[in-house]
């Protein structure tokens, strides 16, 4: 493995670790903590996911830049680009509707049921995590 691929592998696995830790552990667990209301959980979630998405953008750019020095095989790039595209879809197509919904709940409207947008976001997180895992493994094996 060359040095630029080493940086890309590190970026991919850091990105994967952040997604798994926040999306699949922190997010569901915070609502089980004593005293955390839906409004408090949403407020925290918005801050955490805004920070996560910013870090994801930085990591995605870093991975893509690192791979420009010595492009990997096409199958590796397809897996990495799948993760990048999923992130873009989440940010452009799903997050705005989730933000509108959380704005309404924070303003006092009822919001006990999860929205379809929430399920879409979780499904895309799962796809992104799989794409990152596959791309990291393929890049290590290349």
Helical (H) or strand (E) element with 41: helix 38-66
At residue 111, the pLDDT reads 59
Kindly tell me if the per-residue pLDDT of 7 is higher than 70: yes
Taking the C-alpha atoms of residue 42 and residue 88, their distance in angstroms, rounded to an integer, is 22
Beta-carbon contacts of residue 35 (< 8 Å; ≥ 6 apart): none
Q: Is the dihedral of CA 89, 126, 16, 105 positive or negative?
A: positive
Would you place residue 102 in the very low, low, confident or very high pLDDT band (cuts 50, 70, 90)?
A: confident
Taking the C-alpha atoms of residue 139 and residue 99, their distance in angstroms, rounded to an integer, is 35
Q: Are 94 and 121 in contact (CB under 8 A)?
A: yes
Is the whole-model pTM more than 0.85? Answer: yes
φ, ψ at 49 (rounded to 5°): -70, -30
At residue 112, the pLDDT reads 60
Q: What is the tally of structural domains in the chain?
A: 1
Classified as helix, coil or strand, 2 is: coil
Kindly tell me if the per-residue pLDDT of 3 is higher than 80: no
Q: Range of 115's domain?
A: 3-141
Percent of the chain with pLDDT over 90: 67
Taking the C-alpha atoms of residue 91 and residue 88, their distance in angstroms, rounded to an integer, is 5
* Cα R_g (the chain), whole angstroms: 17
Taking the C-alpha atoms of residue 53 and residue 63, their distance in angstroms, rounded to an integer, is 15
């Amino acid at each position: 493995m060359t040095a630029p691929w080493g940086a890309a592998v590190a970026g991919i696995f850091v990105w994967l670790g952040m997604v798994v830790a926040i999306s699949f552990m922190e997010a569901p667990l915070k609502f089980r903590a004593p005293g955390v209301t839906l409004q408090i959980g949403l407020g925290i979630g918005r801050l955490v996911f805004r920070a996560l998405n910013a870090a994801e953008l930085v990591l995605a750019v870093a991975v893509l830049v690192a791979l420009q020095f010595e492009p990997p095989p096409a199958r590796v790039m397809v897996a990495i680009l799948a993760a990048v595209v999923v992130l873009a879809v989440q940010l452009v197509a799903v997050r705005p509707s989730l933000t509108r919904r959380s704005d309404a709940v924070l303003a006092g409207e009822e919001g006990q049921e999860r929205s379809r947008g929430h399920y879409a976001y979780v499904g895309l997180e799962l796809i992104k995590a799989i794409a990152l895992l596959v791309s990291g493994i393929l890049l290590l094996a290349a």
